[in-house]
Amino acid sequence: MACEPKPVSFKNRDLDIAGQLRLPNGFDDKKSYAALVIVTPGSSVKEQIGAVYGSKMADRGFVTLTFDPSYQGESGGEPRDLEDPAARVEDVRCAVDYLMTLPYVDEERLGVLGVCNGGGYAVNAAMTEHRFKAVGTVVAVNMGRAWRQAAPSADRWKQSAGSAPPRRVAARHVANPGSRTAWTKRRQRASPTRTPWTRSCSTPSADPRRLGPTDAYSPATAC
């Protein structure tokens, strides 16, 4: 078996990413090794599938790095448990950055291995991440295809639109803390049966805190 995993940490922008580094048997830090970034499935932590493949590939002589994605597991970011493809792909690049700092990793012998959703992200990253010289996938899933397939086409528009109101509320709250409460109460007074974040055609849109672009996704602006 490969050595015990070494806990490591690296940054994706301002988030701390928690990783596990595994070294091959008989590791010698004076030598130079090929390394693999292992990209994990959705809704998993690095101790599961990432550890299985990380450990088995370390047994085959590779330095392996697996990690919890941004917003998940021991990695930072809020909201928790967000599956954000853009962040997931950027995590992969940041993992490469980290490996480049290790003197015993040969920067010309770097590969990526992705499992399930991680396979999709691995491929997506590799298209413009040429520090990877080889790409492997196991049961790769294209997360976007899966999401679209899960939502009947008639509901896709609603699903996208549904993300706008909570995001708008959050943006207003950040821009003007405290305003959300007053805004929500006003909405509820105007239409008690309506959920606080829906905007009706008759609602005055002259709210000075109105964030224009995000309203483009609101169903009501189609009126």
Partner 1 sequence: MGFDAFHLVGELLTQPIQVIVGRRLGTTFSFEDGKTLFERAPNKKDMFVVEGAGHYDLYDKDEYVDQAVERLDGFYKEHLS
Q: Is 153 in the site for partner 1 (CB under 8 A)?
A: no
Residues 97-136: x where in contact with partner 1 by CB under 8 A, - otherwise, as a string: ------------xxx-x-xx--xxx-xx-xxx-x-xxxxx
| Cα–Cα distance, 54 to 220 (Å, whole number) | 49
Q: Is 60 in the site for partner 1 (CB under 8 A)?
A: yes
- Options 80, 156, 185, 210; binder of partner 1; rule CB under 8 A: 156
Q: Is 139 in the site for partner 1 (CB under 8 A)?
A: yes
Closer residue to partner 1, CB minimum distance, 48 or 214:
48
Q: Residue 105 class from Cβ within 10 Å (0-12 exposed, 13-18 middle, 19+ buried)? A: buried
Q: Match 């990793």 to its residue by tokens.
A: 105
Closer residue to partner 1, CB minimum distance, 197 or 217:
217
Q: Is 39 in the site for partner 1 (CB under 8 A)?
A: no
| Cα–Cα distance, 88 to 84 (Å, whole number) | 6
| Cα–Cα distance, 212 to 200 (Å, whole number) | 16
Contacts of 47 (CB under 8 A, 6+ apart): 20
CB 208 within 8 A of CB 175: no
- Options 76, 93, 104, 142; binder of partner 1; rule CB under 8 A: 142
Distance of closest approach, residue 136 Cβ to partner 1, in angstroms: 4
- Options 23, 49, 92, 164; binder of partner 1; rule CB under 8 A: 49
Strands (E), the chain: 6-12, 15-22, 33-39, 63-67, 105-115, 134-138
- Options 82, 151, 190, 211; binder of partner 1; rule CB under 8 A: 151
- DSSP letters, 22-66, are E--TT--TTS-EEEEEEEPPTT--IIIIIHHHHHHHHHTT-EEEE
- Options 9, 25, 43, 149; binder of partner 1; rule CB under 8 A: 149
Which residues are at the interface with partner 1 (CB under 8 A)?
34, 36, 41, 48-49, 52-53, 56-57, 60, 62, 85-86, 109-111, 113, 115-116, 119-121, 123-124, 126-128, 130, 132-149, 151, 156, 159-160
